[in-house]
Amino acid sequence: MTTIRVKRVYEPPSAADGFRILVDRLWPRGLSREHAHIDAWLKTVSPSNELRRWFNHDPARWDAFKARYFAELEAEPAAVAELTGLVDHHRTVSLLFGAREERFNNAHALAEFLEARRRKKD
């Protein structure tokens, strides 16, 4: 079974990260591609610009953000299939995000989404 980790892309990469997937729509500011050590960049599984701007990492909107984000993901089966294919193919996957907010961000929500799908499948 794959271990899914969540990590800020600005943190130094480590061997424990496994396969590193950037799950933001925008490239992280001030970070070169060489220093990012990204194995895949899946913009298609990030929240829409409208949802991202509305949420603005506001903890009071977290539950509503997740519900809307999960609905967006369900509407993009090809993007979710690409992500789950990568996740299923590696022992450890790190979902990388660029936000300063360490807890209330799309990478944590996406990890929750993937875990829920895994439980439903089992």
Location of structure tokens 């360490």 = 102
Indicate whether this model's pTM tops 0.85.
yes
> What pLDDT is recorded for position 22?
98
> What pLDDT is recorded for position 120?
84
| pLDDT above 90: residue 33 | no
Per residue in 71-120, pLDDT tens? 999 999 999 999 999 999 999 999 999 999 999 999 999 999 999 988 88
| Cα(50)–Cα(47) distance, integer angstroms | 8
> What average pLDDT does the segment 43-72 reach?
97
> What average pLDDT does the segment 27-42 reach?
93
Find, among 16, 4, 7, the residue nearest to 89 by Cα. Answer: 4
pLDDT category of residue 18 using cuts at 50, 70 and 90 = very high
Let me know: does 24 contact 97? Beta carbons within 8 Å. Answer: yes
- 21 - beta bridge partners? 40, 95
Let me know: does 6 contact 109? Beta carbons within 8 Å. Answer: no
> What pLDDT is recorded for position 122?
66
